[in-house]
Amino acid sequence: MPDIASIDPRPFIGRDLGKVTLIKELGRGTMGIVFIGYQKTLRRQVAVKILPKLITHNPIAQQQFRDEAETVAIFNHPNIIPIFEMDETDDFFYQVMQLIDGSDLDSVIKDRLLHPLPAKRILPLGQTLDIILQVLSGLGYAHDKGVIHQDIKPSNILMDHETDRPLIADFGIAKTAQAEIQKGDNVIGSPLYMAPEQAGGETTDGRSDIYALGMILFEMVAGGLPVRDRTPQEILIRKICDHANLFTKKPSQVSPLVNNELEDIILRALAGKPGDRYQDCRSFTDDLAAFKTRFCPVGAAGGPGRVA
């Protein structure tokens, strides 16, 4: 049976889905292929995610695709990508959503690392904190609606080039309770950003998303994550069995941007036990916003190069 990676997008180009015509492929992931589409009625471009029925006879995957659309359709938040429509044809399921003119945060982080000047290889601290605070706002909204994302990672945060606004994407494995663990060695989610309880197949809640966002904050201020292990399987095992030794260095040992206060915030978000983490997005936001106010004053072009 073919998988998403092996699907030829060419037969889809030019196809009409209701009032939307598929123009070109934009990207693909485990839960579908995303195309740029043109919505003729409103004369605008949209994003269209399709899940070919050819590659999934799994009713769980099909239900997850439907659940994502139904879940996000009720959301109304500036940091969550809205879904306009969900339907199916004889060949595939599809979702029509807002097209974001920008890059995902993973690309932003990696592109900065290629800058010829070492001092420019990570975003200014103030900009990083703005991004994390806005994502926290979106996550807090979802959690208040009873929805846990369960796959927060840089590639699922899209940056609007015009507004610099981050938008959370891909609620495809979002759940309100127990994380779904596939049979075998595959865990639904992304091992590097996944909380230990999710890696171990235990009950997840909003604190699992907080852990993932703590990983992103660490990565953004450091330009990378100093993890001891390299393969996804090794990382999963380390998170389950030896989380205290997941990192080879503390944030302050990797980045000159991190002082003791910011390090405490990052490490609290990344606590191995959910009870030791921030218990909700509001408490995480309060500490991070207070830190930003003290060390990244308005008009300081993203804050100082180093906080002491």
Q: Known catalytic residues?
A: 151
Please count the other Cβ atoms lying within 10 Å of the Cβ belonging to residue 14: 10
| Torsional class of 201: left (φ above 0), alpha (ψ -120 to 50), beta (otherwise) | left
The answer for residues whose C-beta is within 8 angstroms of residue 203's C-beta and 6 or more apart is: 177, 178, 179, 197
Integer Cα distance of 133 and 136 in angstroms: 5
The answer for residues whose C-beta is within 8 angstroms of residue 95's C-beta and 6 or more apart is: 32, 48, 49, 50, 65, 68, 69, 83, 85, 86
